Amino acid sequence: MNRVNAREAIFDEPDDFDAFERFLAEGLLRYPCHILAYQLMPNHWHLVLRPTAA
């Protein structure tokens, strides 16, 4: 989980959510893991990850 200071919004527009999902996809190319679940809210996100390499 990651949260912004003072509960400020980090995702203001629908495109912001889309951009974050693209960054997640790029991260999967660098770091071997599975995203089991995620949730994006205007001021924070939750990720449940499982590594695929030791």
pLDDT, tens digit (0-9, with 9 covering 90-100), for 12-49: 888 999 999 999 999 999 988 999 999 999 888 999 99
Burial bucket for residue 31 (CB in 10 Å: 0-12, 13-18, 19+): exposed
Q: Which domain holds residue 18?
A: 2-51
The pTM (predicted TM-score) of the whole model is 0.74
Domains identified in the chain, total number: 1
Query: How far, in Å, are 4, 7, 52 from residue 34 at the CA level?
Result: 25, 28, 7
Whose CA is closest to 35, among 22, 20, 25, 45? 25
> The tokens of 24 are what?
């997640």
